């Protein structure tokens, strides 16, 4: 199949689209998630799974929590930063 190629220009690099089919996968880690039976409710497991699924040059979007640096489970407030966790799992300096 002959596909049109497009270049997505980012600040520090360019992404070429059209070479392969791009698929977005959603890893839903909310407590009411029905797709995984609760296997990835723990943020460490969720991040590890997302990184495991990603291939070189893929984009992993972490969404849903917002800018807060905490999560609330029931009545328990837990310090948590999506950004710091992503950096830790990817081995990137903060």
Question: What are the residue boundaries of the structural domains of the chain, listed by start?
Answer: 6-90
Q: What is the pTM of this model?
A: 0.55
8-66 per-position pLDDT tens digit: 888 888 877 776 656 666 766 666 666 667 777 777 888 888 888 887 777 787 776 66
Cα–Cα distances (Å) from 37 to 40, 41, 43, 75, 91, in that order, read 8, 9, 15, 22, 29
């Amino acid at each position: 199949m002959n596909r049109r190629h497009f270049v997505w220009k980012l600040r520090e690099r360019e992404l070429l689209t059209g070479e392969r089919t791009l698929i977005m996968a959603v890893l839903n880690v909310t407590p009411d998630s029905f797709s995984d039976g609760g296997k990835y409710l723990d943020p460490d497991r969720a991040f590890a799974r997302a990184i495991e699924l990603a291939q070189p040059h893929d984009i992993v979007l972490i969404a849903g929590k917002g800018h807060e640096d905490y999560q609330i489970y029931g009545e328990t407030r837990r310090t948590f930063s999506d950004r710091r966790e992503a950096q830790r799992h990817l081995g990137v300096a903060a």
